Each structure stands twice: as C-alpha cells, then as structure tokens.
C-alpha cells in the first residue's frame, strides 16, 4: 500500500475519526433500541410477537448478506463514497421506520437501515488501521470501542424512557436527524484514505454467501422457538450448510474472493478470531438472559431491566480507551488472560441466581463481568488484524465481523434453547418432587418460576465452560511483530489481491 502512510500524514485524522465515530454510535444505538420497542409496535400494528420479532431477524439477515461483501466494496469504492452511502442509506431507512404507517413499511425501513449499518463497522475499522500507525491503533480502536459499547448500554434504557414518555416513533425521529447531520458533516470532513481498484465481483460467491449465511442465521433465530427438529429449521440448516461449504470451496479457488479464507494461515489472527467468537457467544448469554431473568422472575419493567445492563455498558465504554492504551504498551496476551479470568468468575457467579436474588447482586456481578470483557474484546480484535498487515486488513475485518455476527445469532439461540429446555425439565422435576397438580395454579406458578431460574443458571454454566476454553487459548497468544504488510503475498501472489 504504497502511499497510504504519506496520505495519513498529509490529512487531518481527527475530523475524519470524529465523523466516523458519530456514525458508528448512532448505528449501534439503533441496533439495541428495537427490542425495547417491540411490545408497543405489536400494539400499534396489532401483530404477534413472532411477527414483530422479524424486525430484529430481518436486520440480522441483511447484515449477513452485506458484511461478507464489505471487503470487495472497500477495494472498489473510496472511503468517502462508502461512508456517505452507508450513512445516507441508514438515515433514509430510519426516516422510513419513523413514519411507518404499517408493519410492512417499518420492515422495509429495517432492511434499508441494515444495508447502511452493515458496511459501517468493517469500513471504520479499515480506516482506523490505515490512518493510525501500528503503535497507536490500540488507543484508536479503544476510542471506537466507546461508541461500540456505550451506545448498546444506554440504548435500552434511553429507548424505554422515550417509549414510556412519548411513542416508539419518537425514537426513530431522534436517531434519523442525528444520522443526517453526520452524513452532511461527512461531505465536508471525510477524505479518501485508501486506494481503490476495479476488482471483479464474484456473483456466484455472493449468491452462495447469501444463501449460506442467511440460511444458518435464520435457522438459529427460529430454532430456539420452533424447536431444532422442526422441518423448516432442519431444511434451513441443510441448505445453509451446503451453500456455505460450496462458498468456502469457491473462495479458495477464485482469483479474487469475497471473503479471503487464506488469512487463517496467520496463527495469531486465527487464534484471536476463535477467542473472539467464543467470547461473543458468552457475552450474548448475559445480554439475552439477564433481561429475561429481571422481567419474568422479578417482574420488572423493560426500563428497570435496562438499568441492570446500563452500568456494565458504561464501564465498557469508559474502559475502552484505557484498554487501548494498555494494549499499545503491553500487547493482548495478559489483557485477554486477566479479562477472561474475571469473566469466568463472574459468569460462574451468575449460575447461583435464585428467585429472590437481590437486585444489587445482579447489577454488581453483571457490571464486573462486563469490566472483564472490556479488558479483552478490543485487544484481541486489534492484535489479530495487526497480524495480517494493511493489505489484508479489509479481509480480516470482513471475516471477523461475519463470524461475530454468526456467533451472536448462535449464542442467542443456543442459550435461550438451553434455558427453555432445561427450565422445562426442572419444572417437571419440581412438580414430581413436590407432587404439584397441574390444576394447582399457585404452586404451579412458583414451580415454573423456580424451574426457569434453574434453566437460566444452567445456561450460564455453559457460558462459564466457554469462557474457560477461551481462557486456555489466551495463553497461546504471542505479541506480533510490527507489520505493515503481509508476508502471505510472497506465498500466494496470484491468489491474494494486493493494493500496491
């Protein structure tokens, strides 16, 4: 990447970074508010919970189509073109959601939002690695982590207050102008910091990727509710799995792949990606199970349940730049080990939840758990991408984001399924032990509540085991040498695209 360093010195990085950060914040905020709004949207359009859940599912599926293609987009189009497109499309989608007179219209708005949002994270990561030298990337990624972690933290609480005070439309009416202002600022402040080429798009690869990732994501999102043996779910897994195998095979054969699987030749990148996927699944266990526990067991409102998640998110936001500085100085290994040790202890503490566990215990344990994750998430992500060098960075960001998205979907479905199945088994066991009749409503309700908590505890125990696996892997992390270009190019000049 011949003149990138010159470019990064001749442009002002702060305005570009600020605009990108604002775009990321509003996009991440948008992703977390929809779940809080679902009950009111159901009332507004007179739809079932299963139908309303499509607002989350369709966003995830669209991301699954867009994110794998971002490496191609970043090579084909300039930084400025891509950011303006993504923020412009996101703003339009948000306005459509705000004015939506029917469910079908808000669903279209969510698809348009997801197209814009799906490009943002890989694009911003690629820009950070381009405009910041290797010794400052940890801090820059830490600042980016403020948007990535703080927005989801305040999202549910903020959305809960807006919806209870005004309406769900207001939520989108606030987000849309902020996105539009960021779009207008980008016109003047965002400069082109990467070189472009005219690669040929692998159309068959895009089709196989869409069917593969789309099938698996939809299969996992519906498997938790319909059951894993449901014919539709089994069909989705088979079609998605076969398409994904064909997609990987094709990407290893074509000269210009959409997702570059050869980057897994890099040991540190592969190791940190595996840890990232495991930790993402473990993190989603808390994000999905804690609101269920607080609302179904303690009877709190969504707003009150949101307050449980708020301190942890604030801690992650505050710690991100500090962790980035520590990464620049010490590397990822001991940050990952310490962070995972905290995650293991606190996740295990969540296996001790009871029907009468105090609110303060839940908040403290969850907040300390998020503190542990804040120490390790961004360092392992940055260390893995540093191992690739600049020319392969776009492929690394596309790959990690694709796998994280799949891990999030798998994690949510997996832990909800464990909670549900184990909960039902515990309820039956309690009814048999206590000799509770199905007609005894009072005692049955207590049995269901107790069984549900035990199911949640079992799910957190699985999350504990996952955290232990990641902890063991963290000991194999080594500090990567400073690398601005990737040695893979010497081994696979014809196979791996270069930017030089």
CB 112 within 8 A of CB 96: yes
Q: Measured between alpha carbons, how far is 277 from 417 in angstroms, rounded to an integer? A: 19
Q: Which residue has the tokens 């010195």?
A: 9
Q: What is the pLDDT of residue 19?
A: 92
Question: 239: pLDDT confidence band, cut at 50, 70 and 90?
Answer: very high
Q: Which residue has the higher pLDDT, 389 or 356?
A: 356
Q: For 211-240, what is the mean pLDDT? A: 85
Q: Measured between alpha carbons, how far is 399 from 402 in angstroms, rounded to an integer? A: 5
Q: What is the pLDDT of residue 454?
A: 92
Percent of the chain exceeding pLDDT 70 equals: 93
- For the chain, domains (ranges, CATH) are 1-201 (1.20.1250.20), 261-483 (1.20.1250.20)
Percent of the chain exceeding pLDDT 90 equals: 32
Buried-exposed string 416-427: b where 16+ CB fall within 10 A, e elsewhere: bbbbbbbbeebb
Q: Measured between alpha carbons, how far is 206 from 246 in angstroms, rounded to an integer? A: 11
Question: 11: pLDDT confidence band, cut at 50, 70 and 90?
Answer: low
Question: 224: pLDDT confidence band, cut at 50, 70 and 90?
Answer: low
Q: What is the pLDDT of residue 340?
A: 96
pLDDT at 377 over 70: yes
Average pLDDT, the chain: 84
H or E element at residue 68:
none
Long-range CB contacts for residues 215-218, cutoff 8 Å, separation at least 24: 215/239, 215/240, 215/241, 215/243, 215/244, 216/240, 216/241, 216/244, 216/406, 216/409, 217/60, 217/61, 217/64, 217/405, 217/406, 217/409, 218/57, 218/61
Q: Which residue has the higher pLDDT, 143 or 111?
A: 111
User: Which residue intervals of 387-496 are DSSP H helices?
Assistant: 393-434, 441-474, 488-491
Q: What is the pLDDT of residue 488?
A: 39
Q: What is the pLDDT of residue 237?
A: 92
Question: 460: pLDDT confidence band, cut at 50, 70 and 90?
Answer: very high
Tell me the C-alpha to C-alpha distance, in Å, between residue 70 and each of 108, 120, 458, 490. Answer: 21, 9, 38, 25
Q: Which residue has the tokens 């369709």?
A: 58
Q: Which residue has the higher pLDDT, 80 or 485?
A: 80
Q: For 322-339, what is the mean pLDDT? A: 91
The distance between the two most distant Cα atoms of the chain, rounded to a whole number of Å, is 77
Q: What is the pLDDT of residue 128?
A: 87
Question: 154-180, pLDDT tens digit by residue?
Answer: 887 788 788 888 888 999 999 999 999
Extract the tokens encoding 17: 């970074």
């Amino acid at each position: 990447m011949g003149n990138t360093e010159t470019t990064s010195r001749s442009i002002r990085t702060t305005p570009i970074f600020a605009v990108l950060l604002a775009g990321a914040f509003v996009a991440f905020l948008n992703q977390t508010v929809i779940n809080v709004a679902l009950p009111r949207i159901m009332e507004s359009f007179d739809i079932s919970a299963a139908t309303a859940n499509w607002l989350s599912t369709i966003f995830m599926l669209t991301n699954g189509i867009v994110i794998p293609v971002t490496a191609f987009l970043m090579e084909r189009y300039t930084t400025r073109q891509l950011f303006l497109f993504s923020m412009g499309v996101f703003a339009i989608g948000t306005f459509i959601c705000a004015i939506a007179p029917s469910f079908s219209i808000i669903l279209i708005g969510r698809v348009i939002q997801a197209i814009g949002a799906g490009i943002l994270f890989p694009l911003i990561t690629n820009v950070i690695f381009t405009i910041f030298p290797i010794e400052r990337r940890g801090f820059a990624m830490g600042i980016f982590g403020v948007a990535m972690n703080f927005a989801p933290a305040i999202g549910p609480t903020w959305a809960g207050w807006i919806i209870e005070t005004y309406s769900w439309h207001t939520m989108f009416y606030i987000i849309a102008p902020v996105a539009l202002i960021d779009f207008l600022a980008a016109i003047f402040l965002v400069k082109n910091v990467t070189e472009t080429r005219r690669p040929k798009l692998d159309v068959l690869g895009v089709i196989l990727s869409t069917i593969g990732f789309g099938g698996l994501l939809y299969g996992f999102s519906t498997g938790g509710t319909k059951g894993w043996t449901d014919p539709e779910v089994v069909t989705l897994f088979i079609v998605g799995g076969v398409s994904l195998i064909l997609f990987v095979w094709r990407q290893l054969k074509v000269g210009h792949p959409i997702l570059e699987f050869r980057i897994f030749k890099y040991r540190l990148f592969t190791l940190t990606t595996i840890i990232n996927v495991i930790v993402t699944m473990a993190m989603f266990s808390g994000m999905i199970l804690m609101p269920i526990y607080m609302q179904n067991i303690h009877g709190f409102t969504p707003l009150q349940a949101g307050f449980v998640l708020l301190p942890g998110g604030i801690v992650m936001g505050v710690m991100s730049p500090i962790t980035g500085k520590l990464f620049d100085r010490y590397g990822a290994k001991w940050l990952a080990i310490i962070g995972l040790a905290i995650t293991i202890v606190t996740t295990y503490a969540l296996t001790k939840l009871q029907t009468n566990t105090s609110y303060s215990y839940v908040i403290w344990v969850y907040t300390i758990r998020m503190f542990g994750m804040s120490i390790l998430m961004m360092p392992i992500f940055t260390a893995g991408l540093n191992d690739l060098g600049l020319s392969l960075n776009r492929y690394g960001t596309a790959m990690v984001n694709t796998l994280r998205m799949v891990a999030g979907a798998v994690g949510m479905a997996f832990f909800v399924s464990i909670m549900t199945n184990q909960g039902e088994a515990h309820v039956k066991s309690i009814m048999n032990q206590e000799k509770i009749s199905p007609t005894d409503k009072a005692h049955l309700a207590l049995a269901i509540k107790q069984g549900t908590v035990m199911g949640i505890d079992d799910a957190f125990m699985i999350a504990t085991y996952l955290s232990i696996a990641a902890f063991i892997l963290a000991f194999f992390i080594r500090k990567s040498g400073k690398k601005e270009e990737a040695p893979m190019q010497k081994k696979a000049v014809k196979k791996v695209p270069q930017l030089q």
